[in-house]
Structures are given as structure tokens and as C-alpha cells.
Amino acid sequence: METRAKWGTKLGFILAASGSAVGLGNIWKFPYITGHYGGGAFVLVYLACILIVGLPIMIAELMIGHKSQKSPIGGFKALHKSKFWVIAGVIGVVAAFLILSFYSIVAGWSMAYILKAFAGFKGSSEEIVAQFKNLKEDPFLSIMWHTIFMGLSIGIVIKGIQKGIEKWSKILMPGLVLILLGLSIYGIFFTSGGIKAIEFLFKPDFSKLSSEGVLSALGHAFFTLSLGMGAMITYGSYLKKDINIPKAAITISILDTIIALFAGIAIFSIVFEYGGEVASGPGLIFETLPVLFKEIGQFVSVPFFLLLTFAALTSAISLLEVVVSYFIDEKKWSRVKATLLIGGLIYIIGILSAVDEWKLSFMGKDQSFFDIFDFITTNYMLPVAGLLTSIFVAWIINEKIRKEEFDVSNKSKFYLPWKYIIRYITPIAVMIIILHGFGLI
Ligand code: PHE
């Protein structure tokens, strides 16, 4: 049997894992939910959620992957005899499959907007806003961009860990950071909205914070760090022995958080300068910003959608890798066969989400497949898998494994704090998200 693939360098792993974490969640969702829930106070709660829920679970997922050297389902099997915990791995793999199917649609829009930005946004504000609706409601265009985006993701994953995922993360992530830096510098120094944007994000006004906002912050901490769908387990399984897991998890979480905050600064400075609406919701990026880009020009709009596409691509490859690695490990398929078949299947299921007219009756109303898949994965599957993962690592696996995986030298001051948080605090916080998802609180 072939030996298991490994990351070439630690930096390569950090870039790939941060690439997974930094995605549409950071550039598209974080700014719009922050706008929606009122700014600074929401940001503060979000940071607390990253610290008490996100980071501890990321450490747990990396431990499972690193120790077992297996993809998520095999990973849970390898570390404990009880079959029950495998459910967490199964939910993760299915969630990754479903998420990629609709993630690719948004990523496709983002690619379409690179061209639109290049051509320049023209016409009245209504006409510019209508471009988004036209794209979304045109099945041919949505499917075409979905095809191109899935083609790129498959093309990278088929090359394997070092020659595919690691190589492309090393190109796309520095590119992403440079573009974001450029856009933030533009926002802070070249618009009068920069200071307002920073105040909006960092000056908490608790009167604006709702319980809905707190729950949303908690749910988003999961999504943004790619937790609960086996991505960090899978990426952890390609790590060599000598790795400091808590240090890696802290680096990835900090990078993810900084990038989300900078995306917020870049976007809100433009919104404040040109008088857009901060609380415009999911349309913030594809409707509000293009209207403002008309004034600013291509030198900001083209890099912006390029940034969004880079972020989406490094996340999409991690989602595809989760499912592909399961078929390679457990079904002994070759990488080429697994990537083509699974990538192809996700592509086909994605078509359901690409066609806006196709609706299904779900929870009492007609909804698009896109909304249904998004709702089920974000509200139920990721938190349930995350809850099981935290309990598994905190209570079920052997203390010796837990300790060694945290820190081989056994000297870390952070072991006990982490253990208590993941035993008592994280599961309760995640339970709250789940109960809320089921409408029980
Ligand atoms: N974490 C990524 C984001 O913030 C996306 C992602 C979600 C990646 C789920 C993998 C799984 O957009």
C-alpha cells in the first residue's frame, strides 16, 4: 500500500488550512452579518465564540486527524472501539458534500463578477442591482459558472496534497492577503469612511446586540473555521509527527479572524464613504458594493472579486478533499477516480442549487435547494458534528492520547485550560446553537 500523503512543509499546511478557513464566510458573510447585527458588540461576541468554541474544537479536530492519520470517518473508528462516534465523521462527510454543492454557486457568481467588474458597472443603481437578480435567476449562466468553478476545484484536488492543494494554497493565499491589504489601505487612507468603518467594527454598542445576534455569532464561528465537517480532521491527517497542534490552531484562527476583520474594514469604508446601507444583508457584496464601485472604478472592484474567488477556491478544495479522502482511505479508490466521480456527483447535485426556480416544500414553505442545503448544514449538521467531536475528544478518548497530541513534551500550561473549556464550556455553547437551530430556544 502507498504511504499516506503528507504536507511538504509546515507553512504549506498552515496556508492550506487557513485557506480552508478563509472563504466566502469571511469576505461575504462576516461583513453582512456584522452589518445586520449592529457592528462592534457583535464583533466582540464573535471573537469570544472563536476563543471558547472555535479554537478548542479546531485543536480537537486536528488531534483526531493527526493521531489516526485517517479521513474523518476512519479517524473516529481508529481512536475508539465504540461505533457510535463514527456518526460525527459521517455527518461531516455528508455536510462537506452538501456545502460544496451550493458553495460553488456563490463562488461562480463571484467569478462572473470579476468579468462584470472588468467591464465596469454602468447604468442607474437599480440597473446595477438588477444584474445580480438576472445572474441568479438565469439557470444557464449560473450553471456555466458553477461548471467552471467545480472544474477548477477538481483540477486542483486531483493532483493530490503537495502538488495540488499545497501548491495552490501557496499561490492563492499570499495573493489573497496582498489584495486584501491593498483594499484595506485604500479604505483606511483614501476614503473618508475608514475611521467610521473601524469605529463601527470595534466600538461596541451593546444596545444593538440581540440574542439572535449572539447565536448567529456562535454559528458563524463554526462555519468560518471550517469546523464540524471534517476539513480540519482531513488536513490534520496529512501532518507529519512533529507538529505543535495548539500553536497551529491558534495561527489558523488568528489569520482567519484578522482576514475577516480586514474584509470588514475594506468593505465598510467604501460603504460609509459612498453612502451605501451597512445592513443590506446578503446582497451587500453583489448589489450594494457594485453600485458604489461604479464611482470608484475597476482598480478596486476587479481585485475585490478576485479576492472573493481566491478565498472561495481554497475553501472549496478542502470540502472536496474531505469527501475524496474518505473514498481513497476507506474504499481504496485511486485519487483520480475518487476526485472525478465525487467531484462530478457534487457538480450534479450543485445544479439543483443553481436553478433558482426549482423549489421544494420545506418547513412549511417553498424554498430553493440552495436555501435548504445551507439551512440544514449550517444549523444542524455542523453543530451536531462539532458537539460530538468535542465530547469525543474531551471525554471519550484515552487521556494519554489527548495529552500527547496536545503537547508531546507534556509541558504546556494551556493543556488544562483547554481541557476544561472543551469539557464543560464548548459543549454547552454548541448545545445552545443546536437547540436554537431546532427552534427550541
Ligand atoms: N470556512 C470557510 C468560510 O468561511 C468555508 C467553509 C465552510 C469551508 C465549510 C469548509 C467548510 O467560508
Which of helix, strand or coil describes residue 378? helix
- Whether residue 4 lies inside any domain: the answer is no
Closest CA to 234 of 58, 423, 402: 58
pLDDT at 7 over 90: yes
Displacement of CA 246 from its chain's centroid (Å): 20
Lowest mean pLDDT among 118-127, 216-225, 299-308: 216-225
- Whether residue 2 lies inside any domain: the answer is no
- Whether residue 5 lies inside any domain: the answer is no
Percent of the chain at pLDDT > 90 equals 84
Pick the residue with more confidence: 408 or 248? 248
- When pLDDT is averaged across residues 265-293 and rounded to a whole number, the result is 89
Q: How far does residue 147's CA lie from ligand 1's centre (Å)?
A: 20
- Whether residue 413 lies inside any domain: the answer is yes
- Whether residue 418 lies inside any domain: the answer is yes
Angle at 230 between CA 225 and CA 235, to 5 degrees: 80
pLDDT digits 0-9 by tens, 153-167:
999 999 999 999 999
pLDDT at 215 over 90: no
Domain count, the chain: 1
At residue 1 the predicted structure's pLDDT band, cuts being 50, 70 and 90, is very low
Atom of ligand 1 lying closest to residue 256 CA: 4
Q: How far does residue 81's CA lie from ligand 1's centre (Å)?
A: 30
Tell me whether residue 124 is exposed, middle or buried, using C-beta atoms within 10 angstroms of its C-beta: 0 to 12, 13 to 18, 19 or more: exposed
Mutate to test the pocket of ligand 1, among 97, 105, 224 (most ligand atoms within 8 A of CB): 224
Give me the domain span that covers residue 68: 10-437
Q: How far does residue 189's CA lie from ligand 1's centre (Å)?
A: 30
- Whether residue 315 lies inside any domain: the answer is yes
CATH number of the CATH domain containing 174: 1.20.1730
- Whether residue 3 lies inside any domain: the answer is no
Displacement of CA 87 from its chain's centroid (Å): 22
